[in-house]
Amino acid sequence: MERKKAIVIGAGFSGIAAATSLAVEGFDVTVLEKNSTPGGRARYFEEEGHVFDMGPSWYWMPDVFDRYFERFGAKTADYYDLKRLDPSYSVFFGQQDRMDIPAKLEALCELFESYEQGSGARLKEFLKQAAYKYEVGINDLVYKPGRSITEFMSPSLLLDMLRMDIFQSFHKHIRKFFSNEKLLKLMEFPILFLGATPQNTPALYSLMNYADISLGTWYPMGGMFKIVEGMVSLAKKNGVNFLYDHAVSGYQMEGNRIVSVQTSKGSYDADIVIGGADYHHMETKLLPKEFQSYSKGYWDSRVMAPSSLLFYLGLNKKLEGVSHHMLFFDEDFGKHAEEIYEKPQWPTKPLFYASVPSVTDPSVAPEGKDTMFVLIPTAPGLEDSEEVREKYFDVVMDRFERLTGNTVRDAITIKRTYAHRDFVQDYNAFKGNAYGLANTLRQTAILKPSLKSKKVSNLYYTGQLTTPGPGVPPSLISGQVVAKEVQKAFNTTK
DSSP string, 248-261: EEEEEEETTEEEEE
- Does pLDDT of 159 surpass 60? no
- Does pLDDT of 153 surpass 60? no
- Does pLDDT of 30 surpass 50? yes
- Does pLDDT of 494 surpass 50? no
CATH no., domain 5-48+222-302+439-493: 3.50.50.60
Mean of pLDDT values over 353-358: 98
Taking the C-alpha atoms of 155, 160, 161 and 167 in order, what is their torsion angle to the nearest 10 degrees? 120
- Does pLDDT of 174 surpass 70? yes
Q: Place 163 in a pLDDT band, splitting at 50, 70 and 90.
A: low
Please choose, from the candidates 61, 57, 48, 59, the residue with its C-alpha nearest in 3D space to the C-alpha of residue 357.
Answer: 57
Q: What is the pLDDT of residue 158?
A: 56
Query: Is the pTM higher than 0.85?
Result: yes
How far, CA to CA in Å, does 485 sit from each of 62, 202, 210, 445, 456? 25, 27, 29, 15, 15
CB atoms within 10 A of CB 468: 25
Q: Where are the domains of the chain?
A: 5-48+222-302+439-493, 104-214
Cα angle: 88, vertex 94, 100; to 5 degrees: 20
Average pLDDT of the chain is: 93
What amino acid occupies position 148? S
Beta strands in 17-155 (DSSP E): 28-32, 44-47, 50-53, 82-84, 89-94, 97-101
User: By percentage, how much of the chain surpasses pLDDT 70?
Assistant: 95
- Does pLDDT of 305 surpass 60? yes
* Inter-residue contact 191 to 182 (CB < 8 Å): no
- Does pLDDT of 139 surpass 90? no
Strand partners, 53: 44
* Inter-residue contact 60 to 269 (CB < 8 Å): no
Query: Residues near 192 by Cβ (< 8 Å), separated by ≥ 6?
Result: 198, 306, 333, 336, 337, 340, 351, 377
Per residue in 55-112, pLDDT (tens digit) is 999 999 999 999 999 999 999 999 999 999 999 999 999 999 999 999 999 999 999 9
Mean of pLDDT values over 109-116: 98
* Inter-residue contact 205 to 170 (CB < 8 Å): yes
Alpha helix (H) residue ranges in 360-471: 386-404, 420-427
Q: What is the pLDDT of residue 127?
A: 97
- Does pLDDT of 157 surpass 70? no
Q: What is the pLDDT of residue 81?
A: 98
